[in-house]
C-alpha cells in the first residue's frame, strides 16, 4: 500500500538529481557491529542508488568515544562533498545519541532528528521533518481525505514519531488527539477517529473494536513475535487481519510506512541540497 507513494516520491527525487550537475553524498554512520541495523542501511543504499544519489556507508568502532564521534560529525558538517548525514540507531550504551544528533548541522540533518529540525515543525516548517512522522502524514494525504478538520488520533507520543507527526498534522489543519501509556481509554478516542496512527511498539495493540468503520489506520509499529512453533515474524501495532475488515484503508507491516520512510529520507536530501544552495554553501 505504501508502494505507489514511495515510487512517486522517488521519481521526484530522481528527476531533481538528474538535473543537478553535482550533488554531494549521503553518509550513513553505524557505530559498532549491529546486524539488524544493516537491513535499514541496505534499504537506504538501494533507494539512493535508484535515484542516483551517492551513498557512503561508514562503520565506526564500538569503542569509539563520544568526543571522537562529534569531531567526525563536525568534519562532515564542514565537508562540501557531504550532502547529508544519517546516524543509524541503536548506538553503544556509552554514546549519547541525542548529543550526536544535535551535532549534525540542521542543513545536513536529512533524518530530521536535530532538535532544531524538530522545533521548526512548531512554526510549520516541515521541510526537514523526521522521516517516519513525515511518511505517516504522506500516507494520510494519499488517501485523498481533506486534512482540514480531519479527526486524527495519534497513539504514541515519542519524540521521533508521535509528537512530530501530531504537530505536522495540526499544521495541515487536522484536529489531533494524542494518546499514550497514561491515557485512560485509548479505545474511547480511537473509535471516533477518521484516522488512527499508532507507533508504540506493542504487537496487535489496536484491535477491530478500537476502530470505527471506514477509518484510515496507519501502523508504524515493528514488532518481532514468535508463534507456537518458534517461528519469528514481523507484525505491527495493529491486528491487521481483524482491523482490515473494519477500516477503509490500512497500511501493512512490513511494506507500508517503512518504504515511504526511506523515500522521505531521500526527499529530505533534496531539500537539504536546496537549502545549502540558498545558504551559499554550494
Q: Does some domain include residue 265?
A: no
- Give 181-240 pLDDT, tens digit per residue: 999 999 999 999 999 999 999 999 999 999 999 999 999 999 989 888 888 899 999 999
Q: Does some domain include residue 261?
A: no
For the entire predicted model, the pTM comes to 0.95
At residue 272 the predicted structure's pLDDT band, cuts being 50, 70 and 90, is very high
DSSP 140: H
Strand order in the sheet with 175-179: 175-179, 151-155, 195-198, 216-219, 249-250
Based on the fold, state whether residues 135 and 60 are members of the same structural domain: no
CA distances from 66 to 69, 70, 96 (A): 5, 6, 7
Write down the pLDDT at residue 34.
86
Q: How many domains does the chain have?
A: 2
Based on the fold, state whether residues 99 and 158 are members of the same structural domain: no
Range of the domain at 67: 3-105
Looking up residue 12, the CATH number of its domain turns out to be 3.40.50.10860
Based on the fold, state whether residues 135 and 240 are members of the same structural domain: yes
Q: Does some domain include residue 40?
A: yes
Through-space distance between the first and last CA atoms of the chain, rounded to whole angstroms:
37
Based on the fold, state whether residues 53 and 137 are members of the same structural domain: no
Amino acid at each position: 500500500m505504501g508502494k505507489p507513494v514511495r515510487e512517486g516520491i522517488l521519481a521526484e527525487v530522481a528527476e531533481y538529481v538528474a538535473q543537478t550537475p553535482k550533488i554531494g553524498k549521503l553518509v550513513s554512520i553505524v557505530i559498532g557491529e549491529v546486524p539488524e541495523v544493516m537491513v535499514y542501511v541496505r534499504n537506504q543504499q538501494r533507494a539512493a542508488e535508484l535515484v542516483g544519489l551517492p551513498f557512503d556507508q561508514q562503520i565506526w568502532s564500538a569503542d569509539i568515544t563520544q568526543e571522537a564521534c562529534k569531531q567526525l560529525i563536525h568534519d562532515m558538517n564542514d565537508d562540501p562533498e557531504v550532502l547529508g548525514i544519517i546516524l543509524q540507531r541503536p548506538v553503544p550504551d556509552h554514546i549519547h545519541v541525542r548529543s550526536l544528533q544535535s551535532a549534525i548541522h540542521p542543513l545536513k540533518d536529512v533524518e530530521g532528528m536535530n532538535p532544531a529540525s524538530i522545533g521548526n515543525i512548531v512554526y510549520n516548517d516541515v521541510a526537514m521533518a523526521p522521516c517516519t512522522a513525515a511518511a505517516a502524514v504522506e500516507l494520510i494525504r494519499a488517501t485523498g481525505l481533506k486534512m482540514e478538520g480531519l479527526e486524527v488520533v495519534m497513539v504514541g507520543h515519542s519524540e521521533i514519531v508521535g509528537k512530530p507527526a501530531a504537530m505536522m498534522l495540526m499544521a495541515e489543519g487536522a484536529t489531533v488527539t494524542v494518546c499514550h501509556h497514561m491515557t485512560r481509554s485509548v479505545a474511547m478516542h480511537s473509535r471516533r477517529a477518521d484516522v488512527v496512527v499508532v507507533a508504540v511498539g506493542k504487537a496487535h495493540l489496536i484491535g477491530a473494536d478500537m476502530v470505527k468503520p471506514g477509518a484510515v489506520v496507519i501502523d508504524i509499529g515493528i514488532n518481532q513475535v514468535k508463534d507456537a512453533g518458534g517461528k519469528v515474524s514481523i507484525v505491527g501495532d495493529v491486528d491487521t487481519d481483524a482491523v482490515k475488515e473494519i477500516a477503509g484503508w490500512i497500511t501493512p507491516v512490513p511494506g507500508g510506512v517503512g518504504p515511504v520512510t526511506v523515500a522521505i529520507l531521500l526527499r529530505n536530501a533534496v531539500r537539504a541540497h536546496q537549502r545549502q544552495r540558498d545558504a551559499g554553501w554550494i
